[in-house]
Amino acid sequence: MPDGVKATADMIPGHATPEATRAYAEASGLPEGHWSDFLRTRIRLSSIGVGTFPGAADHATDVEVAAVVSRALRSGLNVVDTAAHYRWGRALAAVGAGLHDALARGVAREAVFVVSKGGFVTFPEGRPPDPEAWFAERVEARGLGRREDLAKGVHCLSPEYLLHQLDLSREAIGVETLDAFLVDQPEVHIPLIGKERLNRKLLAVFTALERAVREGRLRFYGIATFHAMRVETDNPLFQSLTSMLGLAEKAAREASGDERARHHFRLVTIPFNLAMTEGFTRFSHATGQGNIASTLQAAHQLRVYVMGSHALAKGRLAREDWPPLAALTPALAGPAQRAIQFARSTPGLGTALVGMRRLAHLEDALAVARVPPLEKKAYLSLYERSE
């Protein structure tokens, strides 16, 4: 485990439930519009979630992130997003420390939705001088992946490595069960091996994750994308929700031996912000229901929950105001709050993930959570003004 904040050895049982998340939402005092239903599970999730990517790989950042997570969970944000490789693996333990602190202060584990991701290689001591030798010693020699599973020297797509990162996430955070685990940006393999071979690899990974669900190590899974669900359909990096769900259906049958088994692919993340609106505006998905839809529309029809990443475009949108949005949000202070309001108000987007390293970042998110999202008509008017 990385130096810095250490996760408690005790593994916390449980996972997010409808009863606990409803009670959490009611007790928060935040507007009804702040809450989304996680598909048909009746689990209630906050429209703003804590992202834990930003910051240096040092003890000071560990402490700051733990404080942000704890306060967020005590203030009406019950979604936390992290990944096995964030800050060279240190983000997991910081999330665990914040979660344990929030639970010690009265938050129920069953009220919190914890998401982690895997695929990008975890270098716990920082990027090694010889990544190939490191991979041979730390991954290949342990039977976690082969050279042909590696893309760009940093992304390993094998069932064994993804399960390793799933368990690394569980142990470092200190939870018996993750609410969701996502395969992070599998599209990076397409230029190297093509889409057909990638889908075969994903089928094997999804099958392993279906088995992990049956074992109680996680509840749901999906993919986190950057390009795949924003680009045009003729772009080699494009991946459709329907094809992912087809793979998940096969995986569920293979994992269970039951031809009627239901899959647990329930979540995707796509970048979504003022400068990256393709998930809402680009119609690229054939849903199998007689229409061509945007990613957000297709997800709604196909019963997949969408979280939007990069709500502030790695901080850039916190420094750039847009007058039409400012005119619609006079109660909010500054471009950061307005950019968060734009993302979380998007029809079909369940949760906008905001990277937070300091409590000041959290305060911006909480200021937005305290007001209702934009009305749909007002939100859509912003697209008319940008034409």
In the prediction, which pLDDT does 245 show? Answer: 97
In the prediction, which pLDDT does 386 show? Answer: 56
Assigned domain for 9 exists = no
User: What stretches of the chain adopt beta strand conformation (E)?
Assistant: 35-38, 43-46, 48-51, 79-81, 113-118, 150-151, 155-156, 178-184, 218-224, 265-271, 283-286, 292-294, 305-309, 351-355
In the prediction, which pLDDT does 294 show? Answer: 96
CB 55 within 8 A of CB 87: yes
In the prediction, which pLDDT does 289 show? Answer: 80
DSSP notation for 215-249: TTSEEEEEEE-SSTTTS-TTSTT---HHHHHHHHH
In the prediction, which pLDDT does 288 show? Answer: 83
Measured distance CA(96)–CA(57) in Å, rounded: 16
Assigned domain for 345 exists = yes
Assigned domain for 1 exists = no
293-314 pLDDT per residue, tens: 999 999 999 999 999 999 999 8
Assigned domain for 13 exists = no
Assigned domain for 4 exists = no
Assigned domain for 3 exists = no
In the prediction, which pLDDT does 10 show? Answer: 78
Prediction pTM value: 0.95
For residue 266, give the 3-state DSSP assignment: strand
Low-confidence ranges of the chain (pLDDT < 70): 1-9, 385-387
CB 87 within 8 A of CB 96: no
State the Rg of the chain over Cα: 20
Measured distance CA(285)–CA(300) in Å, rounded: 12
Assigned domain for 2 exists = no
In the prediction, which pLDDT does 9 show? Answer: 53
For residue 385, give the 3-state DSSP assignment: helix
In the prediction, which pLDDT does 13 show? Answer: 96
Output the domain CATH number for residue 79. Answer: 3.20.20.100
Domain of residue 129: give its range: 18-385
CB 336 within 8 A of CB 317: yes
Structurally, the chain folds into a number of domains equal to: 1
Assigned domain for 252 exists = yes
